[in-house]
Amino acid sequence: MVIKLTERKSHILHLVIKEYIKNGNPVSSKLLCEKYKPGYSSATIRNDLATLEKKGYLTHPYTSAGRIPTDEGYRYYIKDLMEIQRLTHEEERRIKNEFNNQMIELDKVMHQTSKMLAMVSECSGFTMAPNLTESLVEYIELTKIGTNKLLVLMVTEEGLVKHRIIQCSEDLTQIKIKQISKIINKRLHGKKISEVKKNILNILETEKYEQELIFNIAQDLTNELFNLVDENNFFFEESPNFLGNVDIDEETYELVKQKEVMHNILENVKNTKQGVKILIGNDSPLKNCSLITSAYKLGENSVGVLGIIGPKRMKYSKMVSLVDYISKMFDK
Amino acid sequence: MVIKLTERKSHILHLVIKEYIKNGNPVSSKLLCEKYKPGYSSATIRNDLATLEKKGYLTHPYTSAGRIPTDEGYRYYIKDLMEIQRLTHEEERRIKNEFNNQMIELDKVMHQTSKMLAMVSECSGFTMAPNLTESLVEYIELTKIGTNKLLVLMVTEEGLVKHRIIQCSEDLTQIKIKQISKIINKRLHGKKISEVKKNILNILETEKYEQELIFNIAQDLTNELFNLVDENNFFFEESPNFLGNVDIDEETYELVKQKEVMHNILENVKNTKQGVKILIGNDSPLKNCSLITSAYKLGENSVGVLGIIGPKRMKYSKMVSLVDYISKMFDK
DNA sequence: TCTTAGCACTTAACTGCTTTGAGTGCTAAA
DNA sequence: TTTAGCACTCAAAGCAGTTAAGTGCTAAGA
């Protein structure tokens, strides 16, 4: 399926795409000639451009306009032409800094990471939290923080922290809370969250001490914590000038905001490949955008996806490094 | 300074502003005449418009365009003409709902509130957290959540919760943590946060038990918790179509994002007046916007500010209710 | 004195026409 | 295979004329 290109044509395609990514204007034979002095006349280049168009890598918006890359063109570029551009030390430093602080609480990590991606890419960053339902409960801490109010804190085997505040029907004493906490931990430690979700009552069943009380709290826990493990698991952040400067249309924007859409796209990515994966134009329902994504691992079993959404003419060479670098930070 | 207007002129000013807020087009004598049938001809209204312009309440962008309100016009409107429009029951219900859940953790509350304001106003909402440095420490909970990692949770006298994860130099046993926690609580309970910030070492001084260890943790606590009480205290959220639909320019947008700018504006508001306060155009450095703000109280001494930033032609009558209602929810 | 009809005047917005120039594709010669 | 040259295309910019939505002013009527 992939058609071989001569050295020169390949080079010209490279130049067109680089130029277009940089300036966003259709690029003409004359410009290439003058700016890059390839040692051939504009006419020759014109011929090459024409063949590149015939092969499907370029197109032009109207007769007398310069060329712009097609989706296929971008794909060829990414596969065969692009030299990956490493992050600068400054950028790596900034990222590392962010990661050194506070990075245990799941929601915070995700949020921070998305922001990071958005900032460095200057378009938009997202993070889909790993599905924790197959993770094991390390322990659960109950702390009273007011009448009828408990702070529940769960730590998973991977060391991730999730917390919620729950409202109890009864006002419990510190001592009782401690007792209950002990019992719950004894029973839930090492269990899969998915299992806990389904079976919490059974798991706690045989305990005789304050059975009813424990059941009530268990119910609250399920509602407020275990059932919410999956919720809020898509974080999206954009750089200030993303929508303003850049050619993303409203429609696409709406799509991004719909969690299910993104979920589908990313679930796909997660299951197909290791490392950085790039979706261009029609590859995803976000037809006018490209996505640069990578799966990441937290501990053994928890896999999430993170990445960048931006215009097709984004700096792939740099963005690949960025996404790769950050996803590797997670794997530690 | 305030110039009296005749009944009719006043009425016409009212109509112009209402109409302009609604549709955003300069409003003409003819339109007023046809739409509102005031019982006078367009010529009469034209005369009135001319006087209203002379007095500084209206202007027009070019010779043959209709009138639009000046800042002064809006101010007059707000002071003398506007009828406040209550929130619908539906809206009140939605707001109450949000507030019933989870509303103890300071950062979450602020974030949620800003979102709420943005959503209902359809422009943008912000919340500046109260300065907690004068609040009293209720208690502090230390929980081990991994090697060298402690979760610190502080509850203030008002029942607000702030938490952080801190990295300790030593890996402490559960038991030691409990002992230390007891000591710290005994000493810090009821103290002002500002005092704790300055004097933590002195406050804990006389304890003989594991003096050095406690000092280390105290240092971490100060760095990670007490010193950060004031940080991150401005939350800003915008409705999806805020920047797109609405006539806010880039410059202003940049200003909003600068915390110090907003801080100054709001610090001012906080100190001058109770209840809802409105800043129009030049009243604040955000020249092309209006702000509707209100101070709110959390407990006895903690005062914060929340509100809306939007275009000058926003629905003041409704927004005032919104800001007022939400700020009163805080006061409980 | 207040109101109003009427008219001259201003101006943005649109329309249609022409010109310009950047770019292509094709041809024919080196 | 390369290139110079030329005809052709089309967006964009400029220009003139028209329209319509306004205003301000005047003079007459209540």
Distance from CA of A165 to the nearest CA of B (A): 6
Under the banding of pLDDT at 50, 70 and 90, the label for residue B1 is very low
In chain B, count of helices (H) and strands (E)? 13, 10
**Nearest Cβ partner of B104 from A165, A240, A250?**
A165
Residue whose entry in the numeric block shows the structure tokens 């304050």: A210
Candidates B211, B156, B146, B147; CA nearest to B184 is B211
* Average predicted confidence (pLDDT) for chain B: 88
Contacts of B157 in chain A (CB under 8 A): none
Architecture per CATH, domain A89-130+234-331, reads as: 2-Layer Sandwich (3.30)
Average of per-residue pLDDT across B150-176: 85
The reply to whether domains A7-81 and A89-130+234-331 share a CATH topology is no
Q: Which of A142, A164, A165, A256 to mutate to test the interface with B (most CBs of B within 10 A)?
A: A165
Under the banding of pLDDT at 50, 70 and 90, the label for residue B295 is very high
The domain segmentation of chain B, as residue ranges, is: 7-81, 89-131+233-331, 133-228
CA B33, C1' C7: Å apart?
20
Asked if B127 and B110 count as a contact pair (C-beta separation under 8 A), the reply is yes
Provide the 3-class DSSP secondary structure of residue B116. helix
Distance from CA of B187 to the nearest CA of A (A): 19
How far apart are alpha carbons B127 and B112 in whole angstroms?
9
Provide the CATH number for the domain formed by B133-228 in this structure. 3.30.390.60
CA B62, C1' D18: Å apart?
20
CA B72, C1' C21: Å apart?
50
CA B60, C1' C12: Å apart?
13
- 8 Å CB contact of A159 and B145: yes
Point out the nucleotide closest to A43 (alpha carbon to C1′).
D3
CATH among 3.90.180.10, 3.40.630.10, 1.10.10.10, 3.55.50.30 for A7-81: 1.10.10.10
pLDDT tens, position by position, A272-312: 768 899 999 999 999 889 999 999 988 777 889 999 999 99
Per-residue burial over A171-204, b = 16 or more CB atoms within 10 Å of its CB, e = otherwise: ebeeeebebbbebbeebbeeebbbbbbeebeebb
pLDDT tens, position by position, A221-276: 888 888 877 777 899 998 877 765 666 777 888 898 888 999 999 988 888 768 89
The sign of the torsion formed by the CA atoms of B164, B170, B174, B180 equals: negative
B89-131+233-331, what's its fold? Beta-Lactamase (3.30.450)
Assigned token pair, A247 = 């050619």
Could you write out the three-class secondary structure of chain A? Answer: CCCCCCHHHHHHHHHHHHHHHHHCCCECHHHHHHHHCCCCCHHHHHHHHHHHHHCCCEECCCCCCCEEECHHHHHHHHHHHCCCCCCCHHHHHHHHHHHHCCCCEHHHHHHHHHHHHHHHHCCEEEEECCCHHHCEEEEEEEEECCCCEEEEEEEECCCCEEEEEEECCCCCCHHHHHHHHHHHHHHHCCCEHHHHHHHHHHHHCCCCCCHHHHHHHHHHHHHHCHHHCCCCCEEEEECCCHHHHCCCCHHHHHHHHCHHHHHHHHHHHHHHCCCEEEEEHHHCCCCCEEEEEEEEEECCCEEEEEEEEEECCCCHHHHHHHHHHHHHHHHC
pLDDT tens, position by position, B58-111: 999 999 999 999 999 999 999 999 999 999 999 999 998 887 765 578 888 899
Interface of A with B (CB under 8 A): 102, 104-105, 141, 143, 145-146, 149, 151, 153, 155, 159, 161, 163-165, 240, 243-244, 250, 257
Chain A to chain B, count of Cβ pairs less than 8 Å apart? 46
pLDDT tens, position by position, A128-183: 998 888 889 998 989 888 788 888 889 888 888 888 888 887 888 888 888 889 88
DSSP, residue by residue, B26-73: -B-HHHHHHHH--SS-HHHHHHHHHHHHHTTSEE-SSTTS-BEE-HHH
Under the banding of pLDDT at 50, 70 and 90, the label for residue A320 is very high
Asked if B155 and B139 count as a contact pair (C-beta separation under 8 A), the reply is yes
Which positions on strand D lie below 7 Å from a protein C-beta?
2-5, 8-11, 20-26
Asked if B123 and B322 count as a contact pair (C-beta separation under 8 A), the reply is no
Q: Is the pLDDT of residue A197 over 80?
A: yes
Interface of B with A (CB under 8 A): 102, 104-105, 141, 143, 145-146, 149, 151, 153, 155, 159, 161, 163-165, 240, 243-244, 250, 253, 257
Distance from CA of A250 to the nearest CA of B (A): 10
High-pLDDT (> 70) share of chain B, %: 94
